[in-house]
Amino acid sequence: MKRYFLIICIFLFLSFSGFTQNAPKREFRGAWIHVIGQSQYAAMRPDEMKAYFIKMLDSLETYHINALIFQVRPTADAFYDSDIEPWSKYLTGTQGQAPLGYFDPMKFLIKEAHKRNMEFHAWLNPYRVTASESDVLAPEHIYYRYPERFIKYGKQIFFDPGNPENRKYICAVIKDIVSRYDVDAIHFDDYFYPYPISGERFKDDDSFSRYAFGQGFKPNQLDDWRRDNVNRLIEEVKHTIAATRPWVRFGISPFGIYRNKKNTPDGSGSNTNGLQNYDELYADVLLWAKKGWIDYLVPQIYWEIGHSAADYDTLIRWWSKQKTKAQLYIGQDVNRTVKTPDLVNPQENQLPAKMKLERTLPGIDGNCWWPGYSLISNVQGIADSLNNNYQKYPALIPAYVHLRKKAPKDVKSLNADWTPSGYLLYWKRNGDPINPEKAQYYVIYRFEDKEKTNLADPSKIVSITRDIFYWLPYDKGKTKYKYVVTSVDRFQNETKKGKSKKIKL
């Protein structure tokens, strides 16, 4: 019996060890960087901010993060140079005050992220105007021009989602960003209609009376009308992006519960008991994903495994079963994950169990880590654990084949030569680098001389670069290797075979 038990333990250990090491080659690995509530930026000069951003991106690159989701519009203001909305108070300390030299943080971040072959997703909050009663709006803020288009709720001010002019305005802001900045995606988080305040009603009676009945809604259909308002915004945003730069994606990171099972007549909701997207935030996120209005979905499943009201295990399994046109990533809470003991093995935290669920359940294409600052500061050693186990190797973002399936052409003229600076592998681009359907970056693989070429193995990736060269690690010139270079377009489609070159190093 003891021998049998020992064999089972060894088998489980080896299975789990293999799981931790065998990361997928394609996996979304995002990090949210928020500015709302952050005071450090307003205290920095542009040169200090640049150094801070470079250090941040270097850390994320080390952890093999491949997408930066940065908050550029926290409260209807701009963490970038905009002619539509005032400079953000989180950038300079005063809304409307420009940074020294008109430094543009988003432009700088996009350039530096792409230099590290990291996507940049511009994160906007569509409806929020103020975060607290103490917020002071700039004199040129749209709120002062059209106060009738806004609603005060609790201690905050919001765009009225029921006013069609507000949808036009929000889409204009997004069109401006997409047309002027080389963003990879537009990203909304979980704030649509505001989180409900006990005993207080969201006073949108005027817009309901003015617009709802002409849109075919009846007096008892306030909830349906509110959902329709958000549906219209999401659809119009998608159309705005597609008409401007069709390769730019649109992603939503909703609250982790779509609907509770007890609130759905057909029992299709999750076996949870908490705030709901559909019923309280009026966000029908599954409809958007099924209609193709969004390209990816990142439910914020921030709770612990075993949580009494919103169990992580229950929710990730529920989301995994939803069939939509959108890619599914999981919003992971860094602090809760690493500070909560595992239910089976209390000596370790819940990261291994959560990652096992994310990696083994069908239909899940990656993770996004909140807050990114905790990942960067390596809270409870989470970055070390990701580096040593789950994100040990680089990963390509899953291809958005619903936007484009065809892969770009391979590189031309792959060569290796000695230069005064060292041994250089280099190639020629095949096509226009600013054409999204052509190669945007390159993946370099290395194999032993007689080893079978397996481009599905991320451990063979030695570099992912936007350059057209790679410095080879020359030793004594006695060992032969085969290098393979593939091309990847803006939609993350990769060439199947690539160009190869055998080299003695």
Enumerate residues 6+ apart whose C-beta is below 8 A from 62.
383, 387
Residue 427 sits in the same domain as residue 379:
no
145 and 63 in a common domain: yes
Asked whether residue 283 is domain-assigned, the answer is yes
Q: Which of 68, 74, 75, 77 shows the shortest CA–CA distance to 32?
A: 68
Instruction: Please check whether residue 395 lies inside any domain of the structure.
Output: no
On whether both 307 and 424 belong to a single domain, the answer is no
Task: Find, among 170, 184, 43, 179, the residue nearest to 111 by Cα.
Answer: 184
109 and 168 belong to one structural domain: yes
Do 194 and 281 reside in the same domain of the chain? Answer: yes
Q: 380 and 495 in one domain?
A: no
Q: Are strands 185-188 and 327-328 parallel, antiparallel or unpaired?
A: unpaired
**314 and 452, same domain (yes or no):** no
Residue 126 is assigned to a structural domain of this protein: yes
Q: Could you list the residue range(s) of the whole structural domain that residue 40 is in? A: 24-390
In this structure, the answer to whether residues 119 and 190 fall within a common structural domain is yes
Domain match, 159 and 287 both: yes
Q: What is the CATH number of the domain that holds 211?
A: 3.20.20.80
Residue 399: what are its φ and ψ, rounded to 5°? -70, 140
- Domain presence at residue 405: no
Q: Which of 390, 425, 441 is the last residue of a domain?
A: 390
For residue 447, give the CATH number of its domain: 2.60.40.10
Q: How many domains does the chain have?
A: 2
Does an H or E element contain 112, and which?
helix 105-115
The verdict on 30 and 76 lying in the same domain is yes
Kindly report, residue by residue over 292-312, the tens digit of the pLDDT: 999 999 999 999 999 999 999
Average pLDDT of adjacent 10-residue blocks, the chain of 505 residues = 41 42 88 96 97 98 97 97 98 97 97 97 98 95 97 97 98 98 98 96 97 96 98 98 97 98 95 97 98 98 98 98 97 98 96 98 98 97 96 97 96 93 94 92 96 96 96 91 97 96 94
Q: Is residue 113 part of a domain?
A: yes
153 within domain boundaries = yes
Q: pTM of this prediction?
A: 0.94
Q: What pLDDT was estimated at residue 331?
A: 98
Give the number of other Cβ atoms within 10 Å of residue 362's Cβ: 7
Q: Are residues 159 and 264 in the same domain?
A: yes
Inside any domain, residue 443:
yes
**DSSP states of 158-191 as a string?**
EE-TT-HHHHHHHHHHHHHHHHHS--SEEEE-S-
Residues 181 and 269 in one domain: yes
Q: Which of 109, 107, 89 is nearest to 98 (CA)?
A: 89
The neighbour count for residue 207, using CB atoms within 10 Å, is 20
Provide the pLDDT for residue 20: 45
Look at residue 404 and tell me if it is in a domain: no
- The set of residues, in sequence order, having a beta carbon less than 8 Å from that of 202 and lying 6+ positions away, is 151, 153, 193, 194, 196
Question: Which position has the token pair 């599914």?
Answer: 328
